[in-house]
Structure 1
């Protein structure tokens, strides 16, 4: 069961980051285009994803460490038989405008990071996610839960947090696609 959960997270993580990395190959004009609704440019969306990932990975890293420590003291294998990631509840996070949320100011993109810096950060963050999933192959990630206030998710474990990170990126990929459509309509 856990192998299936971890494989699904890995697959979606890879697909989502592959999609993110494609955005670094677009024209500079599109990259920096600000939509008519004064929303974020694609560049700012990418920066926001990297900022949010940074803070999520602080929690994920702490949770992974604590879960591994607990796994040495607790017998948890029996509880894995009925484990469910609750995919549907987390997939809502990946849908643009599916709920109201006021992001903290420290996750607000400032537009000061160089695009090469943003890409490097995302590459490192992807490696961190892979490392955590690899270290938690035995289901240990269920042993540590942290509060997630976004969309009232409540206490979620390390696997949920990694999948949340994936869904958050998907949400902003949709936003970037909308910016691209608007840009292309204005160019023609």
Structure 2
């Protein structure tokens, strides 16, 4: 378990989400469908598939987080303490600490032919909503708010852990999507 200054933690996550939005706009928005749906030369997902995978998690977590944050009372509490499980899942997904590859879970495996403009647009919309929720979290007790985990809804994680997990997962797949650009020499 690790204790964080809540404001500093949320600012760090906010900065990462702002970067994800900037990268999506600069690198993926207004690209043609064929380019964004092209499978990776290494056999991995296309750029559109990477973003669609992230959108599938956003469809699950964002409404639940929004509902819980809105219902929670405001607080002056300045710290957040991560649980061992939250820290474990975040380290697993973080591209710096979680080097192992994972198979996507059923329901989160993207199809190969996507409407890439819609996928990119939805990704940017979800990242903007995530920013809003992170900023709302500054006035909330991140230890008290619990969100059901997508794979095992009877398990509820602290929202501070969910924030960290989601941003780490987003970073992991943004790096994967950007590797497709490097292979095309267009980054």
TM superposition score normalised by structure 2: 0.72
Q: How many residues align?
A: 174
CA shift for structure 1 position 125: 1.1
Between Structure 1 and Structure 2, the one with more helix by share is 1
Name which of 76, 80, 83 aligns with 1:83.
80
Gaps of at least 5 residues in structure 1 are none
CA shift for structure 1 position 171: 0.7
SS in 2 for 1:59: helix
C-alpha distance in structure 1 between counterparts of 2:150 and 2:106, whole Å: 16
Change (3 A) 1:20 1:165: farther
C-alpha distance in structure 1 between counterparts of 2:6 and 2:104, whole Å: 32
CA shift for structure 1 position 98: 2.2
Change (3 A) 1:132 1:177: closer
Q: Contact 1:34–1:40 (CA<8 Å) still a contact in 2?
A: yes
Which residue is 2:13 aligned to? 9
Gaps of at least 5 residues in structure 2 are none
TM superposition score normalised by structure 1: 0.72
Which residue is 1:18 aligned to? 22
CA RMSD of aligned residues (A): 3.3
Q: Which 10-residue stretch deviates more, 6-15 or 34-43? A: 34-43
Which residue is 2:129 aligned to? 128
Q: What stretches of structure 1 move > 6 A for 4+ residues in a row?
A: none
Q: Contact 2:13–2:164 (CA<8 Å) still a contact in 1?
A: yes
Q: Flag the structure with larger Rg.
A: 1
